[in-house]
């Protein structure tokens, strides 16, 4: 298969104003996507975005590009990524586009795509769009230009969908929930979902100004939510990221509950009700404690490459329904076609309410192994098979023995190499991760 030039593990992402995240590039990207995706199946294309101030720029550029290709556009405004996937299906659009850089800071932005079935584009579709971008951009005749319209009730439709993922016979009444919207796309929708299901909701990260998305709040910075839970005596906290597809939770003791632990809670509940439909897909980064806990319950567990698209592909290949990552991307395919932070939280809340146990109690069946992740920023990708790096890795693996793992991988969204070491003793894990990171750094100097 040909190598993609622009598309990474989750669309196209980068710093605003630097190629390819520029107005002229996104204009042509919209045109090329319109040509490829609309010609495949016809119909309109939806555009949603998060709360970055650059979203206005790229939303307009995409709209112009799509219209010039003769494709009608449905504008959703600020909307979580999974909402765009859902609404693309319900409106029978041929594709959905999200303007978002997910958990990154406001200086970044990106373009993500969904098919009409609410799933990520295939490699062949992404390659076809890139190939179309190499051709001359030709605008259709005036009578064939696409039109744009705004879906005014999009948020309400998605709120009702989320609520439908929580059993009708249950209620959140009596629960006090702290909700952190990361000043992002779910800042209005998330609190409304939990309130309308009966919970008392305390909000944080729900005042976006275009520049504060993910800034000290949200799934990548759950400390603020932890403090709020303890300060207010909340039963638990729910933290989303900037585009609403990640979920990290906090229990009543203020302890952070990551994606691996949440995946364990959801899996254990479904298994107990004979609703699991197979096993669980994690990734190379999934905590060894998750694997061990599921094995003890005779629940099959396999690892995919990092990235929710790889988890999804393996789930579909095996006919399973549940998978995810420690970062909080959780796939519950019996409810949604892609990772959805709100829907995942509702699955956890279903277990809490149905079993009458708190989050701290539900996570006790899984013992996390200490895991150290070091991001080594590199000016150019190092050779991870170089002698010096391999020597450091092999040394760490021999010292860890059977009770640990080492993983090196280049990020698909940032110019960094991620070094992960996992084992039984935290001090040893931290030391070994730093030794390997130093070896990577020496092989590829920092900027």
Dihedral angle sign, alpha carbons of residues 362, 365, 371, 375: negative
Residue 207 is among the residues annotated as catalytic for this protein: no
d(CA 394, CA 376): 19
Pull the structure tokens for residue 178.
């702290």
Angle at 310 between CA 304 and CA 314, to 5 degrees: 65
Quote the Cα angle for 279-285-286, to 5°: 35
Radius of gyration of the chain (CA): 22
Q: Tell me how long the chain is.
A: 447
Choose, from 54, 102, 327, 337, the residue flagged as catalytic: 102
How far is Cα 294 from Cα 198, in angstroms, rounded to an integer?
Answer: 32
Token pair in block for residue 359: 């989050």
Contact in structure between 393 and 406 (CB atoms under 8 Å): yes
Rounded CA gap, 406 and 385, in Å?
A: 14
The Cα 102–Cα 163 span in angstroms is 23
**Could you tell me whether strands 256-257 and 280-283 are parallel, antiparallel, or unpaired per DSSP bridges?**
unpaired
E-strand spans in 69-173? 73-78, 95-99, 108-115, 148-150
Contacts 24+ apart (CB under 8 A), 381-385: 381/410, 381/417, 381/444, 382/417, 382/440, 382/443, 382/444, 383/443, 384/408, 384/410, 384/417, 384/440
What is the token pair recorded at 19?
């190629």
Tokens representing 282 are: 């994690």
In degrees and rounded to multiples of 5, residue 250 shows phi and psi of: -130, 130
Active site residues: 102
């Amino acid at each position: 298969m040909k190598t993609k030039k622009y598309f990474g593990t989750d669309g196209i992402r980068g710093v605003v104003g630097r190629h390819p995240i520029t107005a002229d590039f996104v204009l042509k990207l919209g045109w090329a996507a319109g040509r490829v995706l609309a010609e495949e199946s016809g119909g309109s294309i939806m555009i949603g975005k998060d709360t970055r101030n650059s979203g206005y720029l790229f939303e307009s550029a995409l709209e112009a590009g799509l219209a010039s290709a003769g494709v009608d556009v449905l504008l959703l405004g600020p909307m979580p990524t999974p909402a765009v996937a859902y609404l693309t299906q319900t409106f029978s659009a041929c594709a959905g586009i999200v303007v978002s850089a997910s958990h990154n800071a406001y200086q970044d932005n990106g373009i993500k795509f969904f098919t009409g079935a609410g799933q990520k584009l295939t490699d062949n579709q992404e390659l076809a769009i890139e190939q179309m971008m190499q051709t001359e951009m030709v605008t259709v005749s005036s009578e064939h230009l696409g039109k744009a319209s705004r879906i005014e009730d999009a948020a309400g439709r998605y709120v009702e969908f989320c609520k439908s993922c929580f059993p009708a016979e249950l209620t959140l009444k009596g629960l006090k929930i702290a909700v952190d919207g990361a000043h992002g796309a779910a800042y209005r929708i998330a609190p409304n979902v939990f309130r309308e299901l009966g919970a008392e909701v305390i909000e944080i990260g729900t005042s976006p100004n275009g520049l504060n998305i993910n800034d000290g709040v949200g799934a990548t910075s759950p400390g603020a939510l932890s403090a709020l839970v303890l300060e207010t005596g909340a039963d638990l906290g729910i933290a989303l990221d900037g585009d609403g597809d990640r979920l990290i939770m906090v229990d009543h003791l203020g302890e952070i509950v990551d994606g691996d632990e949440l995946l364990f809670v959801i899996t254990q509940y479904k298994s107990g009700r004979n609703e699991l439909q197979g096993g669980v897909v994690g990734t190379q980064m999934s905590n060894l404690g998750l694997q061990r806990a599921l094995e003890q319950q005779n629940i099959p567990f396999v690892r995919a490459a990092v990235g929710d698209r790889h988890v999804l592909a393996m789930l579909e290949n095996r006919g399973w329904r549940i998978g995810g990552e420690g970062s909080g991307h959780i796939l519950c395919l019996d409810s949604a076609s892609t990772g959805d932070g709100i829907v995942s939280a509702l699955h956890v809340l279903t277990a809490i309410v149905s079993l009458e146990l708190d989050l701290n109690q539900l996570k006790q069946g899984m013992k996390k192994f200490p895991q150290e992740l070091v991001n080594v920023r590199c000016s150019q990708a190092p050779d991870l098979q170089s002698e010096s790096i391999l020597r450091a890795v092999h040394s760490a693996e021999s010292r860890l023995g059977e009770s640990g793992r080492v993983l090196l991988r280049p990020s698909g969204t940032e110019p960094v190499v991620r070094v992960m070491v996992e084992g039984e003793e935290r001090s040893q894990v931290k030391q070994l991760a730093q030794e390997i990171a130093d070896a990577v750094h020496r092989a590829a100097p920092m900027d």
